[in-house]
Structure 1
Amino acid sequence: MLLSPFGRLSPFRRLSPFRRLSPLRPLSPLRPLAAALCLTLLPATVHAREVVITTTTHGIPHILAPDLEAAGHGAGYAYAAAGNTCLLADALVTVRGERSRVFGPDATVDLVGGRVSNLVSDTFFRAYLDDARLTIADPEVDALIRGYAAGYNRFLAGTDPQKLPEACRGAPWVVPATQGALRRLLAERAIQASGGRFAEAIATAAPPGTDPAPQAATDPLTPPPALASNGYALGGDLTADGGGLLLGNPHFPWAGSLRFFALHVTVPGVIDVMGATLAPLPLPAIGFNARLAWTHTVSTSRRFVLHELRLVPGDPTAYLVDGVPERMVARDIAIPARLADGRETIITRRVWESRFGAVLAMPARGLAWTADTAWAIADPERSDTRLVAQWLRLGQAGSVAEAQAALIAIRGTPWTNTLMADQSGRAGYADLTGVPPVTDALARSCAPTAGAEAIARAGHITILAGDRAACAVPGLMPADRMPVRNSRRLFMNANDSYWLSDPEAPLTGLASILGPTEVPQRLRTRMSARQLGELTGRPGPAVAPSDLEAMLFSERNLAADLALDAVLTSCAGQADLAEACTVLARWDRVSAPAARGAGLFRQVWRRLGADPGRSGRFWSVPFDPTRPFDTPRAPDAHDPATAGLLRAALRGAVADFRAAGLALDAPLGALQQRDGIPLRGGDDAEGMLDNLGLGALGPAGGFDTARAYGTSWVQLVRWRALPDGGTVPVARGLLTYGQSADPASPFHTDQTRLYAAGRLFDLPFTAEDIAADPARSETVLDLPD
């Protein structure tokens, strides 16, 4: 008798063909025995395929399937059944370019580059994503996507539309998913740090003399704050048991289709991996298996290049390449739309393409389409179909070396660094994102005009000349020119560049497009280095998982450590600031939920801005690239300009609290709540590892949580040796906002309460742990042979 990893009969067993008539059923306690009898009594020609979904505490599905297509089926079904149907249905409306028809052209939608009209969104997705270029040749990946569509559609077919979550209850736009639509959504994930950021600039670009569509206040040259992360991989030289240790802490939105979903997928003999994913990925994107764990952070490398097109005099839709005129290609995009009066119509919008990519225009950033100049974007991720293949191979990897080899071979992590650790004690880092192959030498030889160079410096982007064929940049930067390292020590990343991801051996000398080196680091990077240094440099015990868990939820506020003394010095003797100074002086500089003064300081720091050093002598100790984790520091409160800046920020913060009707010493947890649950964490700019990005302080009684982002999926992984020489992962985790987007679900805020308490929970991975889970329930989906 074959046993599955869950301690059940193998899904390859022979079962009665009549049992396949039941699409969904709970398991009887006698079912394993009955199945064993079937195994010996039924003729060998009868084969049934089934997916077993075992749900454990907090609604985490453990999907056992006989093959990858069936695994995808289980993943799609489990995601929808958890209460996330509306999220996926809405995202598919977006990538199909149907928002104007479903919700009206003037309504708006959040895209990665900002909030835009549905008409702009539809124009962009219909023009930018080409179904013919999004085909998938890998049969395993194709099977996973085919299965995911079938599983999601199975849930829809078996569910009364009036019993869907309120957000889409009875909505006609909740329709079955096609494989093509899922591929489009995967492509949308791939372009989030390249063409997707320029959706409005591409959809509204128009030659001079025509009537361009108005642009909203989106700024694609400013990275979206809602995509960030911490990742820490410790090798065996630093850990208590000599094996690897990994803490993944992505900072992603708490609402919308970028919510993580935790799952465990097992196909015996093929893959056994647990973690969290973004729909419609059928496998964990951040996860672990019996020998390897990995996480991702958003990379600072640049995943696109703009080209400055020199236009033919008198013809703004033609440009010169090596002195020869070349015409842009105009494409008219037909967009079905439903008008406010209910009438349906077709709106036609024109977009433009060049040999260097889509033409765009952003006048507010100096990138206007004039009679002399136009701009095009080279986006190597535009036709990326490698995402699922990448996470399939990572889930199958058994070591850091194998994981790095998979990253190099597939190049399917479009905009994220990867940090990893394995059971043998190896740790690693790689930034193998979708970067165009722009060397510094090419950047110099293809330098654009002085005006374009100034725009590039201000926006921290790459602009190349677009009047020479040699300046085109097809493909990706070769892997051997990108940062890839491993050792038995420490790797970390908190969204600064690769430069200090190995704190003991800074890496320099790579192409500038991969990110800056020898520059001031964000406070979250500095706090990471400070706290990890305290752990690894202390006398006595090596680092244990509990140390990293405590570190993440310590809620230490580096901005307060660096600047609060100066704030207190500046407000001494100011009668109108006496109460505020007293509140801040009593605060212990930890942004825990009960902390009084943490909220007031946050507002002070926000008013100072993300870079208070812009005031000249703000920092008395300037940045020193030889001491990047310790500088700059110590605001110069005796400098009149700096003191005035600090006092003005404090007065403004006090006024903000008074206007909102809030006490200056209100506990932080009273100022940031979700569904009545006090939250922990703080602003990225405060240097908080437990990042919780919230909106402005308002009259509703605190910081706006409607578009919260930050700590989302947390996984803390080590390994335990088995008597037979193998290993199993020992993991703790947390999905801060719960498995379900449906407020009516018991899995909507259950983990939020754990997050409020600063506590992870054990993640069951082995058959024994899954079987012992007190909340265990099982569902079986019969599939056709």
Structure 2
Amino acid sequence: LTAQDMLAYSMATVQLASSANFLELAFFANPGDGDEYLPVPSGSEPSAVSSLVKNINQQAKQFKLEKKFEHLGSNGWGLGKEMMANGQGGLLANPHFPHEGNLRFWQSHLTVPGAMNVMGGSLQGMPGVINIGFNEHVAWTHTFSTARHFLIYQLALNENDRMSYGVEGEQHTITSKMVTVEVAVGPNTTIELTKPFYYSHHGLMLETPAERGLGWNDTQAFTIKDANEFNMDVVAQWSALNQAVSLDDMKASFAQFDGVSFNNTMATDKTGTVFYVDDSTVLKLDDTANLAIRLQPELVALRKSTGFDLVPGNMKLFESQGKVPFSEAPQLTRTDYVQNSNDSYWVTNLKQPLLGFAAQYGDVHKPLSLRTRMGLKLLQEGGGEDGKFTLDELEQALIGNRIYLGELVFTDLASQCIAQGNTPVQVSAGIDVDISPACDIVANWNGAMNLDTEGAALIREFAHLFNPSAHLYNNFDVTDPANTPHTLRQDKVALKALAHAMLNVQANGVPLTSTLAELQFVEKSLAGGHASGEQLPWAGPMHVEGGFNVFRYDRSNLTRSTLIPYADYQTLPDAVTGQPLASNLSAQGYPVNYGSSWMFVMNFTEDGPVAKGLLTMSQSSDSRSEHFDDQSRYYSQTAKLRPLYYKEADIEQNLIDEIDISMTKQ
């Protein structure tokens, strides 16, 4: 492992929500009309090169243009003195991240006498810093921001020249850079391949193969401007957060560094003041350009169809003016709460909506996700009768596994189901379903997605077919976003979704009354990618159910982010469409490899910070280690978090082993 490797990893991490999603498009980009994007050997290894080229060509034909980062998410609360029973600050940290690969969290407690005493979790491979954690003064967590950290420009090429373009009379040349990579082609055998990458004055040139929408031809080409392209602040930023002794220190770190490249931050201090900021790195544009991106119909339509901002490259209007400074980022300081569950900044606190920030920070005045609404409901209810949280009540809010969808519609859905009786519901032409067996399950739902929840598969499959815009009345109220839209429509469209869900469950051989313990599981992969053979029952809902503590299965390259093999589970088909079920139901049940990862709750006290937490995937990825599955087993068997020992006395009392390491300068 070299210093260059560490730098490359850090830069790749900060580009997760930007350039990392367009590397294939940069690979394919070339001014020709054929397969000129293919690499060529530096030497003469024709047979190996031929095999590689054939493989690359095959992958190019299967390439799909998609947002690879859309599933990353989290919940975070900063709780102030008005919300904590002891009148000091509290925090709930619930990052939803992969349980596999280099985006896997691990836990540590770092102490530098006189300088730093910080506990928390970090992404695997992140050098020497805690990403989400607390010290004796402040605590913080992050969630994935809705902000867009790049722009795609459609360049207007000069006539008869695919390597030059104009921007309102100013001429620019597309340049190239040759890159050579050592590629493994067999055991202990490598070859060197070389290819050019192309650059506009904005950044990398992009192109999709097979005319999939972003083609490089005689008149146009596409390029990306990434706010995080040269962002090397990641270690410095979190080092400053780790050593902060106040919220003012934290704010100063955001003003100085851009390391928190794609995250919101929720923080609290020991005095009970809380702070929110979306200081993820965003390109600065002038007000007219911002207005156009937010409201211009063609640009809005392009964003909806592609998932990112695509703007004219022949206008100076959209030229970047650097990065949005900290002073202009969405932020809020209060003494009750700040929260985020991956909706935009505007509902950080229901009492003080945030508006008027750059369009690229995300949409405002739009319906919230069911997960955000669940979190806001938990906050509004408080921990108990006094409306304030103790540490135990924060823990219950996190792992109680309530689902907002059930609380929102199941009473009305059960009533409609019972009224339907034995009269079949038509799911599609020629497919009619008697839904009466589903009525009792919906009516008697136990209020959560815990191990003992009966009918878990029916509830889950219904959630994946539920469509708020079609199944709820159109009564979204921008002044009451936490509670609207609400009320199930009376046109029985929701019964059709319930019938479809029932059909999916039964057609795939799952008993309707199956509990979540019988269905959802974690199974560790051993060396070589072999499944361990032991499936740990796993509690917890999914995002689409309006769950808060959420889990799911994901086989995407970004989520797994590793070449190390892992066991896979074939998804069963939808009984109507024949397509793989969105829930990832397999013949074994619902596997889990993503979701709540490094989660904890904490409260400052007169005697220092007190915390409980869990690393759900366990600390070690080595199947020979006793810590390979210990915390996973704990979660599977125990519906609670474990103590986090921060004080020296507690550490000494619970010490398992101690190793002294010394280093000698060479």
With normalisation by structure 2, the TM-score equals 0.83
2:296, 2:167 → 1: CA distance? Answer: 15
Paired position in structure 1 for 2:618: 738
Q: Go from structure 1 to structure 2 and tell me whether the alpha carbon gap of 1:445 and 1:553 turns closer, same or farther (over 3 Å shift).
A: closer
1:657, 1:446 → 2: CA distance? Answer: 43
Q: Go from structure 1 to structure 2 and tell me whether the alpha carbon gap of 1:329 and 1:572 turns closer, same or farther (over 3 Å shift).
A: farther
Are 2:423 and 1:574 equivalent residues in the alignment? yes
- Counterpart of 2:389, as a letter, is V
1:772, 1:323 → 2: CA distance? Answer: 72
Paired position in structure 1 for 2:88: 243
Q: Secondary structure at the match of 1:779?
A: coil
1:680-695 equivalences under 5 Å are 680-694=539-553
Indicate conservation of the 8 Å contact 1:286/1:296, yes or no. yes
1:87-236 equivalences under 5 Å are 177-207=1-31, 209-211=33-35, 214=60, 216-221=62-67, 223-225=69-71, 227-236=72-81
Are 2:612 and 1:754 equivalent residues in the alignment? no
Deviation for aligned residue 1:702: 0.5
- Counterpart of 1:190, as a letter, is V
1:780, 1:662 → 2: CA distance? Answer: 53
Q: Go from structure 1 to structure 2 and tell me whether the alpha carbon gap of 1:315 and 1:341 turns closer, same or farther (over 3 Å shift).
A: farther
1:440-451 equivalences under 5 Å are 440-443=287-290
Q: Higher helix share goes to which structure? A: 1
Are 2:111 and 1:266 equivalent residues in the alignment? yes
1:475, 1:282 → 2: CA distance? Answer: 29
- Counterpart of 1:593, as a letter, is L
1:382, 1:673 → 2: CA distance? Answer: 39
Paired position in structure 2 for 1:528: 375
Paired position in structure 2 for 1:380: 227
Paired position in structure 2 for 1:276: 121
Q: Secondary structure at the match of 2:103?
A: coil
**Correspondence for 1:592 among 439, 450, 455:** 450
- Counterpart of 1:408, as a letter, is A
Paired position in structure 2 for 1:8: none
Deviation for aligned residue 1:709: 1.0
Indicate conservation of the 8 Å contact 1:499/1:506, yes or no. yes
1:653, 1:519 → 2: CA distance? Answer: 28
1:362-401 equivalences under 5 Å are 362=208, 366-401=213-248
Paired position in structure 1 for 2:264: 417
Deviation for aligned residue 1:584: 2.6
Deviation for aligned residue 1:411: 2.2
**Correspondence for 1:601 among 459, 471, 479:** 459
Paired position in structure 2 for 1:677: 536
Once the two structures are overlaid, the 10-residue window that deviates more, 657-666 or 694-703, is 694-703
2:294, 2:440 → 1: CA distance? Answer: 55
Q: Go from structure 1 to structure 2 and tell me whether the alpha carbon gap of 1:218 and 1:777 turns closer, same or farther (over 3 Å shift).
A: farther
Indicate conservation of the 8 Å contact 2:522/2:591, yes or no. no
**Correspondence for 1:509 among 356, 374, 379:** 356
Indicate conservation of the 8 Å contact 1:334/1:349, yes or no. yes
Are 2:510 and 1:662 equivalent residues in the alignment? yes
1:392-541 equivalences under 5 Å are 392-443=239-290, 454-469=301-316, 471-535=318-382, 539-540=385-386
- Counterpart of 1:277, as a letter, is S
2:393, 2:246 → 1: CA distance? Answer: 24
Q: Go from structure 1 to structure 2 and tell me whether the alpha carbon gap of 1:397 and 1:447 turns closer, same or farther (over 3 Å shift).
A: closer
2:363, 2:536 → 1: CA distance? Answer: 40
Once the two structures are overlaid, the 10-residue window that deviates more, 581-590 or 519-528, is 581-590
**Correspondence for 2:481 among 628, 631, 638:** 628
Q: Secondary structure at the match of 1:418?
A: strand
Q: Go from structure 1 to structure 2 and tell me whether the alpha carbon gap of 1:376 and 1:653 turns closer, same or farther (over 3 Å shift).
A: same
Paired position in structure 1 for 2:158: 312
Deviation for aligned residue 1:501: 0.6
2:350, 2:121 → 1: CA distance? Answer: 28
* Cα deviation code 1:66-122 (max 9, x no counterpart): xxxxxxxxxxxxxxxxxxxxxxxxxxxxxxxxxxxxxxxxxxxxxxxxxxxxxxxxx
Q: Go from structure 1 to structure 2 and tell me whether the alpha carbon gap of 1:762 and 1:344 turns closer, same or farther (over 3 Å shift).
A: closer
2:62, 2:352 → 1: CA distance? Answer: 44
Paired position in structure 1 for 2:42: none
Deviation for aligned residue 1:474: 4.8
1:567, 1:448 → 2: CA distance? Answer: 37
Indicate conservation of the 8 Å contact 1:557/1:687, yes or no. yes
Once the two structures are overlaid, the 10-residue window that deviates more, 306-315 or 363-372, is 363-372
Deviation for aligned residue 1:762: 1.1
Q: Secondary structure at the match of 2:148?
A: coil
Q: Secondary structure at the match of 2:659?
A: strand
Q: Go from structure 1 to structure 2 and tell me whether the alpha carbon gap of 1:451 and 1:423 turns closer, same or farther (over 3 Å shift).
A: closer
Indicate conservation of the 8 Å contact 2:83/2:387, yes or no. no
- Counterpart of 1:704, as a letter, is P
Q: Go from structure 1 to structure 2 and tell me whether the alpha carbon gap of 1:561 and 1:208 turns closer, same or farther (over 3 Å shift).
A: farther
Paired position in structure 1 for 2:594: 709
What residue ranges of structure 2 are gaps of 5+ in the alignment?
38-56, 425-433, 524-534, 555-582
- Counterpart of 1:778, as a letter, is E
1:446, 1:318 → 2: CA distance? Answer: 26
1:698, 1:510 → 2: CA distance? Answer: 41
Paired position in structure 2 for 1:613: 468
* Cα deviation code 1:708-733 (max 9, x no counterpart): 211111121112224xxxxx211111
Q: Secondary structure at the match of 1:520?
A: coil
1:567, 1:450 → 2: CA distance? Answer: 37
Indicate conservation of the 8 Å contact 1:439/1:511, yes or no. no
Indicate conservation of the 8 Å contact 1:448/1:464, yes or no. no
Q: Go from structure 1 to structure 2 and tell me whether the alpha carbon gap of 1:222 and 1:345 turns closer, same or farther (over 3 Å shift).
A: closer
Are 2:439 and 1:552 equivalent residues in the alignment? no
Q: Secondary structure at the match of 2:102?
A: coil
2:362, 2:380 → 1: CA distance? Answer: 24
Paired position in structure 2 for 1:137: none
Q: Secondary structure at the match of 1:419?
A: strand
* Cα deviation code 1:453-475 (max 9, x no counterpart): 53224335333332245632153
Q: Go from structure 1 to structure 2 and tell me whether the alpha carbon gap of 1:232 and 1:445 turns closer, same or farther (over 3 Å shift).
A: closer
**Correspondence for 2:603 among 718, 733, 741:** 718
Indicate conservation of the 8 Å contact 2:457/2:505, yes or no. no
Paired position in structure 2 for 1:352: 198
Q: Go from structure 1 to structure 2 and tell me whether the alpha carbon gap of 1:366 and 1:450 turns closer, same or farther (over 3 Å shift).
A: farther
Q: Secondary structure at the match of 2:453?
A: coil
2:361, 2:369 → 1: CA distance? Answer: 17
Indicate conservation of the 8 Å contact 2:293/2:299, yes or no. no
Q: Go from structure 1 to structure 2 and tell me whether the alpha carbon gap of 1:355 and 1:215 turns closer, same or farther (over 3 Å shift).
A: farther
1:322, 1:254 → 2: CA distance? Answer: 49
What residue ranges of structure 1 are gaps of 5+ in the alignment?
1-176, 723-727
**Correspondence for 2:132 among 270, 273, 286:** 286
User: 4+ runs of 1 displaced by more than 6 Å?
Assistant: 340-343, 445-450
Q: Go from structure 1 to structure 2 and tell me whether the alpha carbon gap of 1:487 and 1:447 turns closer, same or farther (over 3 Å shift).
A: closer
Q: Go from structure 1 to structure 2 and tell me whether the alpha carbon gap of 1:218 and 1:681 turns closer, same or farther (over 3 Å shift).
A: farther
Indicate conservation of the 8 Å contact 2:33/2:217, yes or no. no
Indicate conservation of the 8 Å contact 1:249/1:713, yes or no. yes
